[in-house]
Homo-oligomer: A and B are copies of this chain.
């Protein structure tokens, strides 16, 4: 990975890019994953590369819904595993739920690599300082008990065809609430149709996923997942949620980027 000086104003973005190109060369990502990341970069650029107040509200709502669900699960694809795998394991440990590797272009090799990566991440996170309200022993045990599902492949998402329908029977199939950062539109629609609470992180407020989900966090995945961990510790309450407003808020911020052009 190239050295990026701390002073660089877009260090986080360049670091994310470096992580992904490295992961791609290791075979963790589908061929279109870098293009998808680039799309996200553009929307994040328009957002000013920071979490908006509106996105923070969506993160709190997501935290509340995950903690109030009976069988929540965090679904992880390649890009999320690479960019926010640590935060996903932390969030799952705080909630007490499994994570599930669930990828659009499913191959046994990529499933294995992503599952192994998350198991290594789990070991690392179990040694880290616990969040507020946890002692080290509790935290270690809770992190270690986070299941990494996906390889089992014994469940189905009804309404989808072929390998895209495959999931874990104890994960997404059984879940009443699913956090799916970076999901595609078809699968988001299928999960909604199954009556699950669908909570997504998507930088494109116009995407089908963003518009179909119950709660859409319009934010970059590693920032959003980091803030989700903080929000989970605070145990917020479920609110009356207007998701269209969250999308419009994001679009207003992106539209205001036009003020940057001198007239």
B interface footprint on A198-219 (CB within 8 Å = 1, 0 otherwise): 0000001110000100000000
Cα A37 to Cα B204 with chains together (Å):
16
Q: Give the interface SS of chain A, mostly helix, strand, loop or mixed.
A: helix
Cα A34 to Cα B206 with chains together (Å):
22
A69 within 8 A of B: no
Query: What is the count of identical protomers in the complex?
Result: 2
A225 within 8 A of B: no
* A window 206-263: CB within 8 A of B: 206, 211, 244, 247-248, 251-252, 254-255, 257-258, 260-263
The interface on chain A, measured as residues whose beta carbon lies within 8 A of the other chain's beta carbons, has a size of: 36
Q: Which residue of chain B is the closest to A255 with respect to CB atoms?
A: B255
A106 within 8 A of B: no
Contact B257 A45 (CB under 8 A): no
Chain B residues positioned under 8 Å from A25 (CB to CB): 31
Q: Which of B39, B42, B263 contacts A244 (CB 8 A)?
A: B263
* A window 33-82: CB within 8 A of B: 34-43, 45-46
Knowing that A45-B206, A211-B261, A251-B257 are A-B contacts, what are 17 other residue pairs whose CB atoms are under 8 Å apart, sorted by A's residue number?
Answer: A21-B31, A21-B32, A25-B31, A34-B35, A38-B39, A38-B41, A39-B41, A42-B204, A45-B204, A46-B206, A244-B262, A248-B261, A248-B263, A251-B255, A252-B258, A254-B258, A255-B255
